[in-house]
Amino acid sequence: MSYETIRIERKDKGVVWVTIDNPPANALSENLMNDLEQLVDELSSDRNARVVVLASANEKIFVAGADLKGMIAGGSQFAGNESGISEQSGRMQKCFDRFATMPVPVIAAINGHALGGGCELAMACDFRIMAQGRGKIGLTEVSLGLIPGAGGTQRMTRLLGRAKATELIFFSKRLDAQEAFEVGLVNKVTTPESLEEETLDFAEELAEGAVRAMGLAKEAINAAEGSIEEGMNVEANAFAQTFKTGEPGVGLAAFFQRKKANFLPKK
C-alpha cells in the first residue's frame, strides 16, 4: 500500500516501525487521517506484525494535534454544521480506537510535542515512551476554546482518574516527559538520543513474548474499563457544541497571533 504521510519499516522479530512525516507539525490533516486509517487496515490483516511502534520524523514534534490551519480554513462551514463536526470527531475517535483495540501491543515513541490529538493518539497506544527535553504532552484543546474530541476525555480519565484528568484538561497542562511519568501518563522516560534504541529494545522484548496472549489480555483489559462508546458519543457531540460558544474563534485567533487567549467577555 502507498502512503503520503507515513513510512513503514519492518524490523526484526515482527516489530513494525511507523514514522509519521507530515510537515510542518505532523498535524492530523486529512492526508494523515487517511493514511492512519489505511495503516490500521493493513496491520489488522498482517499476521507477521507482532508489535507496532508509532514514531515521528519531526525533530521536536510527535503529533501537534488537529489541523488548526484546516480548522480555520473550514471555519465558516464549522459554524453552521454541527453534525459534520461531530462526524469529524467520530472519525478520529474510531481511527484511534482501532489502535486501542489492535490485537498486538502498540507503542508511542514520543520524541517531542504530543498535544491535543497527538496526546489522544498516544493514549490510544498500550505504552508511551517519551524523550525528556524536546517537547510536552497534554490535552491543550480547552486553551483554544475546544475540547478533546478524539477520545481524550475518555482515555485520560481512564488512565489517570477523574481528578487528575479534570485538572490537566481544564488547565490545558503541557507536561514534560518527567512530569508525565510522575502522573502515570507515560511509562518510561529516555533521552532524545536514546529514544529509538530504548523503544526498539522494549518492542523486541514484547515481540519475543506471547503476543497473541497479550492481544487477548488487551481485549479483557479494555472490557475491565467498561464500554467507551457512550462516552465517545457524548464527547463528539460536546466537541461540536464548542463551535456554538464563540470560544474557538477567540482561542484559534490567539494561537495564530501567538498570544494567550482572553475568554473574558468584552466590557
For ligand COA, the closer CB: 4 or 208: 4
For ligand COA, the closer CB: 52 or 121: 121
Instruction: Enumerate the H helices of 171-259 as residue ranges.
Output: 177-183, 195-208, 211-224, 229-242, 247-256
Continuous segment of H or E residues that includes residue 94 = helix 82-100
Least distance between ligand COA and beta carbon 116 (Å): 2
Bond prior to 24 in cis (omega within 30° of 0): yes
Rounded CA separation 61/27 (Å)? 9
For ligand COA, the closer CB: 18 or 115: 115
Least distance between ligand COA and beta carbon 26 (Å): 9
Per CB under 6 A, residues contacting ligand COA are 24-25, 27, 61, 64-69, 113, 115-116, 140-141, 144, 146
50 close to 14: Cβ distance less than 8 angstroms: yes
For ligand COA, the closer CB: 88 or 140: 140
User: Grid coordinates representing 95?
Assistant: 481511527
Catalytic residue ranges: 120, 141
Give me the sign of the Cα torsion angle 33, 62, 168, 165: positive
- CA-CA distances (angstroms) from residue 180 to 15, 132, 170, 184? 26, 10, 16, 6
Angle at 257 between CA 256 and CA 259, to 5 degrees: 110
For ligand COA, the closer CB: 16 or 64: 64
**At residue 261, what is the residue type?**
A
**φ, ψ for residue 63 (rounded to 5)?**
-145, 125
Least distance between ligand COA and beta carbon 220 (Å): 32
Least distance between ligand COA and beta carbon 60 (Å): 6
Name residues whose C-beta falls within 8 Å of residue 24's C-beta, 6 or more positions apart in sequence: 58
Least distance between ligand COA and beta carbon 21 (Å): 14
Q: Is 140 helix (H, G, I), strand (E, B) or coil?
A: coil
Angle at 128 between CA 33 and CA 242, to 5 degrees: 50
Least distance between ligand COA and beta carbon 147 (Å): 9
For ligand COA, the closer CB: 28 or 206: 28
